[in-house]
Amino acid sequence: MSALLEVRDLSARVEAKAILDRLSLSLPAGEVHAIMGPNGAGKSTLSHVLSGKPGYEVTGGSATLDGEDLLALEPEARAARGVFLSFQYPVEIPGVPALTFLRTALNAQHRARGEAEVSAPDFLKLVRARAGALKIDFDMLKRPLNVGFSGGEKKRMEILQMAVLAPRLAILDETDSGLDIDALRIVAEGVNALRAPDRAMLVITHYQRLLDHIRPDRVHVLAGGRIVASGGPELALQLEREGYDKFAAAA
Amino acid sequence: MSLAEALQHGDLTRLPSRREEDWRWSDLRGLIRALPPAAPAFSGALPPGPFAARFPAERLCLVNGRGPDTIEIAAGENARLGLRLVAAGEGQGDGEGQGGGEGYVGRLRLTLGAGASLVLLQTHEALTGGYLAQTDLEIVLGPGARLERLVLVADAADAVAVTLSHVHLAEGATFVETVLTTGARRQRLETRLTHAARHSAATLSGLYRLAGRRHADLTSLIRHEAPQARTDQLVRGVVDDQARGVFQGRILVQPGADGTDSRMGHHALILSDRAEVDAKPELEIYADDVSCAHGATVGALDAEALFYARQRGLSEAEARALLSDAFLGAVLDRIVDPELEAVGRAWLEAAVSPEVGPGAETLA
């Protein structure tokens, strides 16, 4: 039986520049895997290609979610099947209150899956519970999404959306960037609370410190567009000590 | 040269043409091949106007240009009023604006006495198509008077319509207008405002949301003739398909109008590569010690924001509509009267698809 996310020999480019080079990765349900690597290794490209961001051309290989070809789907169809990307730089959307945005997204996913829409009271109850756990002031959700939010608030908003949308596959792209240690802890606790047997997470990071809080089952080193090493959590500590140089050379 | 003159004299050569700087993006001479017959007096019963429930107030009607010729709000009086400008001819356009349809010219004078206050919901409604119409409004505010109007323009897709408002502000008068339109075959909504005495204030807001082959032209001329007056103008538009939006804003600060504070902004989104926006913001200043600014942008929807919304599950069409409406929403934030604001928001919601949007009967 294949894993929840199965990536095989995936190659992709932006314009003429090859970024991913026959990348393979197997992520079973219930597990959290970390992707670490130097700048420019292709970490963000991997998250964009898996979530369907326009502008990338897949030149080879495959990526499946529960055995279904992800790469053929529009971004919103991937979202409806449970792909969630926590953005490295969450987008500000002036004029759309965070609550409105989130409810629109949730109901769009429900419709796409042929499920009933969530009523306003049920939605508010759900959001209140999740926001409280992330120490998000409910009044903040009435403000336009991410407009004027601090870096930490934006990342907490991403995790709140993840908690409400309850994805099958969560990809966290540099969720630790721009966070102080307190914000990092809150975000990590939020992520840990979402670990579940039927869910998988891909945690993309440059630094080991996030992995002190989100303990991965496996760590993969991405360099030169491919996975060059995989191991247990101890691999992250080794990277922190020794740097990426020898892996970059291996690629 | 005006549509009204051409209609009254049955003379095509009196139509404004692209050779006039002011009409270069809204040419009527090259568009109209024949002038239509005059619209008959309307004998039927009008359906209730839009937003009757949300804005319960007395309604005055000009049907095919016929109706009251003056509205007076006496000094010190507070009033709320609906003004319905209805095209209700017998003809049916062919959808291309050729044949069918009738022509008419309407005129109305609205005066507010000293210290009077009026909240006005002005609706342009089409019960027919293919018409050629010009409506001239003369609005005179006495000292300290205040008028806020929300103008909802729902013309037929094959209509040619010109609305010209002359606004005259006495000392300390306040004029707040918000114009929302979905365009027409060719449509001009023009405000010519004069700050005739000191300490008057004008807030002018406009919004166009155009699809299909519709056209809307928001033109304004603001004259500062006295010191210490303020103008704050913001127009935002979204154009899709083969639609065309035009903004021409001119602020003229005359000698002696010291202490003028005047700002103008026009911002547009183009959603299709066959849509077009033409903008000409102008400031002309002949006084000292003035504070004037203008800003203009035309762009596309932010690709990052579109992807973000789609990643969360919105379809591309839903994402585009959400972001467009959010962009336009900034205009509605400027409406002061809460009832008018609610009407404006309901209008924008219904205007997402203009072809099935605000019909006269469908909105309550």
What is the ipTM, given to two decimal places?
0.96
Are the beta carbons of A105 and B314 separated by less than 8 Å? yes
What pLDDT, on a 0 to 100 scale, did the predictor assign at position B364? 41
Q: How far is CA A210 from CA A83, A185, A192, B58, B307, in A?
A: 21, 9, 12, 64, 26
| Low-confidence residues in chain B, pLDDT < 50 | 94-99, 353-364
Q: Residue A128 and residue A164: Cα distance in Å, rounded?
A: 10
What pLDDT, on a 0 to 100 scale, did the predictor assign at position B361? 35
Contacts of A161 in chain B (CB under 8 A): 312
Q: Residue A237 and residue B263: Cα distance in Å, rounded?
A: 58
Looking only at the bridges linking them, the beta strands covering A56-65 and A5-14 are: antiparallel
Query: Once rounded to an integer, what is the mean pLDDT over residues A130-134?
Result: 90
Put simply, whether B349 touches A (Cβ < 8 Å) is: no
What pLDDT, on a 0 to 100 scale, did the predictor assign at position B356? 37
Q: How far is CA A177 from CA A87, A89, A212, A243, in A?
A: 11, 9, 15, 18
pLDDT, one tens digit per residue, over A91-110 is 999 989 999 999 999 999 99
Put simply, whether B131 touches A (Cβ < 8 Å) is: no
What pLDDT, on a 0 to 100 scale, did the predictor assign at position B362? 41
Return all residues near A124 (Cβ < 8 A) that are at least 6 apart.
Answer: none
Are the beta carbons of A76 and B313 separated by less than 8 Å? yes
What pLDDT, on a 0 to 100 scale, did the predictor assign at position A251? 57
Query: Once rounded to an integer, what is the mean pLDDT over residues A121-129?
Result: 95
Are the beta carbons of A80 and B313 separated by less than 8 Å? yes
What pLDDT, on a 0 to 100 scale, did the predictor assign at position B210? 96
Q: Token digits for B281? A: 């913001």
Sole residue written with tokens 């469908």: B362
What pLDDT, on a 0 to 100 scale, did the predictor assign at position A209? 87
What pLDDT, on a 0 to 100 scale, did the predictor assign at position A250? 60
pLDDT, one tens digit per residue, over B221-268 is 999 999 999 999 999 999 999 999 999 999 999 999 999 999 999 999
What pLDDT, on a 0 to 100 scale, did the predictor assign at position B32? 93
Decide: residue A14, CB within 10 A, 0-12 exposed, 13-18 middle, 19+ buried: middle
By Cβ distance, the residue of A74, A95, A101 closest to B329 is A95
Are the beta carbons of B307 and A54 separated by less than 8 Å? yes
Q: Token digits for B145? A: 């008077």
Helix (H) or strand (E) holding A203: strand A200-205
Return all residues near B349 (Cβ < 8 A) that are at least 6 apart.
Answer: B325
**CB A84 within 8 Å of CB B310:** no
Query: Once rounded to an integer, what is the mean pLDDT over residues A200-215?
Result: 92
CA-closest candidate to residue B152, choices B121, B186, B114, B115: B121
How many percent of chain A have pLDDT more than 90? 79
Q: What is the pTM of this model?
A: 0.85
What pLDDT, on a 0 to 100 scale, did the predictor assign at position B100? 55
Question: What does the domain layout of chain B look like in residue ranges?
Answer: 36-362
**CB A61 within 8 Å of CB A9:** yes
Q: Residue A151 and residue A183: Cα distance in Å, rounded?
A: 9
Q: How confident is the model at residue A247 (pLDDT cuts 50, 70, 90)?
A: confident
What pLDDT, on a 0 to 100 scale, did the predictor assign at position B186? 97
- Which residues on neighbouring strands pair with residue B110, listed in sequence order? B71, B139
Q: Token digits for A73? A: 């789907």
What pLDDT, on a 0 to 100 scale, did the predictor assign at position B357? 37
By Cβ distance, the residue of B304, B315, B322 closest to A96 is B322
CA-closest candidate to residue B181, choices B205, B204, B155: B155
CA B61 to chain centre: 18
Compute the nearest-CA separation of B240 from chain A (Å): 20
Q: Token digits for A244? A: 């990426």
Query: Once rounded to an integer, what is the mean pLDDT over residues A42-57?
Result: 96
Query: Once rounded to an integer, what is the mean pLDDT over residues A12-32?
Result: 94
Segment among A198-202, A204-208, B190-194 with least mean pLDDT:
A204-208
Report, in this order, helix, strand and coil percent for chain A, each rounded to 5.
40, 30, 35
Are the beta carbons of A95 and B326 separated by less than 8 Å? yes
**CB B357 within 8 Å of CB B184:** no
CA-closest candidate to residue B112, choices B154, B165, B175, B60: B175
Sole residue written with tokens 């049916």: B92
Neighbour tally for B61: CB within 10 Å: 18
What pLDDT, on a 0 to 100 scale, did the predictor assign at position A1? 55
Contacts of A87 in chain B (CB under 8 A): 308, 311
What pLDDT, on a 0 to 100 scale, did the predictor assign at position B363? 45
